[in-house]
Amino acid sequence: MHIVIVGGGAGGLGLATRLGRKLGKRKRAQITLVDRNQTHIWKPLLHEVATGSLDAGVDEVSYRAHAHNHHFRFVLGTMSQLDRTAKTITLSPLQSPEGKDVLPERTLNYDHLVLAIGSVSNDFGVEGIAEHCIFLDTHQQAERFRQRLVHGFLRLDQQLETFPEAQLNIAIVGGGATGVELAAELYNAAELFKVYGLDRVSLKHLKVTLLEAGQRILPALPDRIALSAQQELRALGVDVRTQAKVVKADDLGLHTADGELIASDLMVWAAGIKAPDFMHQIGGLETNRANQVVVNTHLNPADDAHIHVIGDCAACPLPDRKWVPPRAQSAHQMASLVYRNIVATLAGKPLKAFEYKDHGSLISLSHYSTVGSLMGNLTKGSMMIEGRLARVMYISLYRLHQLALHGWLRMILIAVVKRVNHILKPRLKLH
């Protein structure tokens, strides 16, 4: 049996690891993970990569090395086509940054196919967004933002020598978790740039504007958490604007529906997500307006039990007529179900249905604060937490992800190495 997993995010890599340990090690199945990148980094941390608070080179996981250690195969490539009749997927030709051919178009056969492709930013067709804003979907995009941020602070420090009122203006569109966490992390970066030699820079020289089209920030979370986060952001100096719809972006900045121009040196779009465009009705599968594949309670498309869809690219209905939210915990839970069902299929046992359990949400406001709620099995209800306890819980989520990938020993060693690096290396990536 050949199991092909497309996408090495939180769900896909975790699933490949578990199947490799269970089936690949015993030669009961061949497991292949396909991803367009060479390395994995936990997507909820990309805002820290973008500000330099996290060095991706230290935290990223090499797919090829991880595959060797956990008994599966890694293939570098981007899926472009699906043939459900022949049970094959096609990978696009791979080219170097210089435009030279590295690998030709390839075809992989599968017995079970898992689509864990994740999501990309949805600009909703707003004029100028794709040309003038930076998205934070990938490590490469986060690094691009970080480089521009470093250059921005260097210019600011020079300008302050002759113009004490100069500011670095950064606008973030989208009051979800990514936008809120990035806004707070930017102030941490400003503090650290001053520590590392930009003596003229202070927090008053950074102006961050957070724009949310809805009634409040963090619309997917309870009101009290959103209010607490908003108060923390405003205390830092963030200009939080709700009911502020962006209708255009250009060289000057962002234009709102009210006719206001938000002048910006750097602009980030974090206002919505969708599955990649090539997913739209791929292989004849039913997809929604966000290109997500519509699945049943077993996470299969309605007419194909050999395909499983997990994570942000899955449109999975809930009993209350809502949809499973695009969160890391959703991807992990879906991956766990697909793992159990594939193993059950090999053993001739019945399949289980997916039941989403909301364990709550945590929002990190850098070292300033962390707020969130614990729900479901964790507290037998709902409990708001903040401060040090919330920060510990937030860090533990990443540790659980590392535990799923590496096991207890390596996870502990990684935590120790990170602590040592915190002492030996700068607290901000400066180059």
Q: What is the 3-state secondary structure (H, E, C) of 358-426?
A: CCEEEEEECCCEEEEEEEECCCCEEEEEEHHHHHHHHHHHHHHHHHHHHHHHHHHHHHHHHHHHHHHCC
Q: Examine the fold and report which residue of 295, 314, 347 is the final residue of a domain before the chain moves on.
A: 347
> What is the widest separation between alpha-carbon atoms in the chain?
75
Number of domains present in the structure of the chain: 3
Q: Is 217 a domain residue?
A: yes
Q: Is 430 a domain residue?
A: no
Q: Examine the fold and report which residue of 219, 241, 269 is the final residue of a domain before the chain moves on.
A: 269
Burial tier of 53 (Cβ tally within 10 Å: 0-12, 13-18, 19+): buried
3-state secondary structure of 328: helix
Question: What pLDDT, on the 0 to 100 scale, is given for residue 255?
Answer: 97
Q: Is 354 a domain residue?
A: no
Model confidence, pTM = 0.92
Task: Find out whether 175 and 210 touch, Cβ atoms under 8 Å.
Answer: yes
Q: What is the CATH number of the domain that holds 306?
A: 3.50.50.60
**Whether 20 and 81 share a structural domain:** yes
In degrees, rounded to 5, the angle at the alpha carbon of residue 281 between the alpha carbons of residues 1 and 80 is 60
**Whether 264 and 283 share a structural domain:** no
Report the DSSP beta bridge partners of residue 35.
76
**Whether 265 and 279 share a structural domain:** no
Read off the tokens for 368: 């300033």
**Whether 157 and 90 share a structural domain:** no
Cα distance between the two ends of the chain? 46
Read off the tokens for 210: 């957070």
**Whether 137 and 261 share a structural domain:** yes
Q: Is 7 a domain residue?
A: yes
| pLDDT tens string 116-146 | 999 999 999 999 999 999 999 999 999 999 9
Q: State residue 58 phi and psi, 5-degree precision.
A: -90, -40
Q: Is the dihedral of CA 386, 388, 389, 394 positive or negative?
A: positive
Q: Is 166 a domain residue?
A: yes
In degrees, rounded to 5, the angle at the alpha carbon of residue 139 between the alpha carbons of residues 285 and 132 is 85
Task: Find out whether 61 and 14 touch, Cβ atoms under 8 Å.
Answer: no
7 vs 77: CA distance, rounded Å:
10
Report the DSSP beta bridge partners of residue 242.
212
Read off the tokens for 35: 């991803």
User: Taking Cα atoms as reference points, which of 173, 152, 157 lies closest to residue 239?
Assistant: 173
Q: Is 355 a domain residue?
A: no
**Whether 322 and 251 share a structural domain:** no
Question: What pLDDT, on the 0 to 100 scale, is given for residue 387?
Answer: 75
Q: Is 431 a domain residue?
A: no
**Strand intervals (E) in 174-256:** 206-212, 239-242, 246-249, 253-256
Q: Which domain holds residue 309?
A: 2-119+275-347
Alpha helices in 73-211 (DSSP H): 129-132, 139-159, 177-195
Q: Is 196 a domain residue?
A: yes
| pLDDT tens string 262-290 | 999 999 999 999 999 999 999 999 999 99
234 vs 171: CA distance, rounded Å:
15
Q: What is the side-by-side strand order in the sheet with 30-35?
A: 73-76, 30-35, 2-6, 112-115, 307-309
The identity of residue 144, as a single letter, is R
**Whether 262 and 280 share a structural domain:** no
**Whether 300 and 194 share a structural domain:** no
Q: Which of 119-122's residues contact partners 24+ apart within 8 Å by CB, and which partners?
A: 119/273, 119/274, 119/275, 119/276, 119/311, 119/312, 119/313, 119/326, 120/273, 120/274, 120/275, 120/276, 121/269, 121/270, 121/271, 121/272, 121/273, 121/274, 122/271, 122/272, 122/273, 122/274, 122/290
User: Taking Cα atoms as reference points, which of 234, 166, 163 lies closest to residue 204?
Assistant: 166
Read off the tokens for 341: 């069902």
Question: What pLDDT, on the 0 to 100 scale, is given for residue 220?
Answer: 78
**Whether 143 and 184 share a structural domain:** yes
Task: Find out whether 12 and 328 touch, Cβ atoms under 8 Å.
Answer: no
**Whether 253 and 285 share a structural domain:** no
Question: What pLDDT, on the 0 to 100 scale, is given for residue 378?
Answer: 43
Q: Examine the fold and report which residue of 269, 295, 319 is the final residue of a domain before the chain moves on.
A: 269
DSSP for 261-274 reads EEE-SEEEE-S-EE
**Whether 158 and 226 share a structural domain:** yes
User: Taking Cα atoms as reference points, which of 266, 53, 274, 42 lies closest to residue 144?
Assistant: 266
Q: Which residues of the chain have pLDDT under 50?
A: 376-381
Question: What pLDDT, on the 0 to 100 scale, is given for residue 377?
Answer: 45
**Whether 264 and 212 share a structural domain:** yes
